[in-house]
């Protein structure tokens, strides 16, 4: 029989409840906030406003975003799922502690880039 303490730990995946606990049960960023995978984020103000308590994960994000970094690279650097990172980023952005620089969106018309991507896929 499995001990109750062990039922909350998947040896391959790690703690099961942790991401849910980090976001206080939220699965989406706050309304009106959206982060694309290649949007760049950078810390704007490292001092939290009165009444906002930074979690260890918020502090880790602010540490990494002292220099501009994409959302997907940030998630990889701090080893958290992208969905969790987006929720935590929205907390920081809502309190003016983080600036989001959206990636340029629009059709890709650079044929050299498209050809390089095609060759890379074919090489797989």
Domain definitions of the chain by residue range: 4-123
Quote the Cα angle for 34-35-40, to 5°: 140
Please give the pLDDT value at position 43.
92
Please give the pLDDT value at position 28.
67
Fold (topology level) of 4-123: Arc Repressor Mutant, subunit A (1.10.10)
Please give the pLDDT value at position 5.
53
Please give the pLDDT value at position 18.
67
C-alpha dist (Å) from residue 8 to 18, 73, 81 = 10, 28, 18
Mind listing the pLDDT tens digit of every residue in the chain (124 residues)?
455 555 555 566 555 556 666 776 676 677 777 788 888 999 997 788 888 888 888 899 999 999 999 999 999 998 888 888 998 998 898 888 899 888 877 776 778 888 888 888 898 8
pTM (2 d.p.): 0.68
Please give the pLDDT value at position 15.
54
83 with 27: CB under 8 angstroms?
yes
């Amino acid at each position: 029989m499995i001990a109750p303490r062990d039922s909350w730990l998947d040896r391959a995946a790690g703690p099961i409840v942790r991401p849910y606990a980090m976001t206080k049960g939220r699965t989406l960023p706050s309304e009106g906030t959206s982060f694309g995978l290649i949007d760049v984020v950078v810390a704007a103000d490292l001092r939290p406003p009165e009444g906002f308590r930074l979690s260890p994960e918020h502090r880790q994000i602010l540490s990494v975003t002292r220099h501009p970094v994409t959302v997907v690279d940030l998630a990889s650097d701090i080893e958290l799922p992208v969905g969790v990172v987006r929720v935590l980023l929205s907390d920081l952005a809502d309190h003016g502690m983080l600036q989001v620089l959206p990636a340029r969106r629009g059709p890709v018309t650079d044929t050299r880039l498209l050809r390089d991507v095609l060759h890379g896929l074919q090489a797989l």
